[in-house]
Amino acid sequence: MLADRRILLIIAGGIAAYKSLDLIRRLRERGASVRCVLTRAGAQFVTPLAVASLSEQKVYEDLFSLTDESEMGHIRLSREADLVVVAPATADLLGKMAAGLADDLASTALLATDKPVLVAPTMNVMMWAHPAVQANMATLQARGVRRVGPGSGDLACGEVGSGRMAEPLQIVAAIEEFFAETTDKPLADLPLAGRRAIVTSGPTREPIDPVRYIANRSSGKQGHAVAAALARAGAETVLVSGPTGEPDPPGVAIVRVETAREMLAACEQAMPADIVVCAAAVVDWRPADAAPAKLKKNGPAPPLLLVENPDILATLSSGPGRPALIVGFAAETNDVVAYAQAKLKKKNCDWILANDVSPASGTFGGEHNTVHLVSADGVEDWPRLTKREVAERLAARVVDHFATGNR
């Protein structure tokens, strides 16, 4: 979605500017070109050297630089992008944008651009709630400026409330959503157009009582990336997700669940489908009887009787109306390929993506994954990739599967 896209990133002054460094990295790893404007206040929080090192582009700071104006004027700078992103977008810069002021390179470029603009506001909770800021934001949105965030939580000033800049991956998701909505390529021309996919993602939670639960360390990064990749390939995609902090992928229908039984029911409700990818790390057992009230420490620890959860992958692989392609994941800490080969036979699915989730691997919660694609044809060892790259490679294999005559 972002390959060869040109992003102009304007970094204004605010403690959240440190997140912009990660945003640059996230955009670059997705294939985007990122050119940056750093305001004088922004340079108090992140250095031009850090921004240039991550973007691998010259950083623009001064409106009156004769060299820059001869080589890359502010008008050209603002118009050679596919999208202008302001992150962080401070109250000051939002006010300048709304009023049409142009007293530095950032505000001048924003006034001169003819490209869409996305802002990620950040400021103190009282500043964000101030009628002047809200009026400025409403004015900008009425002019077509897009917004992502702000979120709520602990702020750098020590207060709590709305004003946190959206996380880098949330901003990336908003950028991808923009390009998904504005792509010139008709849906019918995409390779998985007309196909329906169901993807499970994240952990499940099995309640012990209203406060405690059994779960696992899955972040949902891999499953969400798979859903996004299939949607980009044209599939009508339903993402059934356990609790996760991952942003919703653009162009995907989201069904949120907590328990394994809820996840299975949601998958069955979403049928029929051509493709199912079970990437969720489903808890294998649940407490037989969840306590209706919080268990108290009034004596010895109460016994915890566990019963087996339904096997989602095996159920979908053997039921009526079986999808044409069913892919499972095998998260193992040892003998990864051997366990995956056994799981392939036991579950009656078509492919298994086996990955090492031992603590040393950094897979759970991390950005990278090392997988082995196990099928009836053998084992295909993939190199260490980002989870997005794993998802893209899997989506390409799915496209090839149906392109070769499989129904």
Do 395 and 227 touch, CB atoms closer than 8 A?
no
- Choice among 157, 267, 278, 349 that is catalytic: 157
DSSP codes of every residue in 100-164:
T--SSHHHHHHHH--S-EEEEE---HHHHHSHHHHHHHHHHHHTT-EE---EEEE-TTS-EEEEE
Closest CA to 320 of 268, 279, 275: 268
Residue 294 labelled as part of a binding site: yes
Residue 58 labelled as part of a binding site: no
Residue 313 labelled as part of a binding site: yes
Alpha-carbon distance 84 to 80, whole Å? 10
Rg, the chain, Cα only:
24
Residue 189 labelled as part of a binding site: no
Q: How many CB atoms lie within 10 A of CB 154?
A: 10
Task: Give start and end residues of each alpha helix (H) in 239-386.
Answer: 260-270, 312-318, 336-347
267 is catalytic: no
> In which residue are the tokens 């009628």 written?
131
Give the tokens for residue 357. Answer: 């989730």
Alpha-carbon distance 140 to 144, whole Å? 7
Residue 347 labelled as part of a binding site: yes
Task: Give start and end residues of each alpha helix (H) in 34-104.
Answer: 48-55, 66-71, 74-79, 91-99
Known binding-site residues for CTP equal 284, 294, 310-313, 329, 343, 347
User: Which residues have a catalytic role annotated?
Assistant: 157
Known binding-site residues equal 284, 294, 310-313, 329, 343, 347
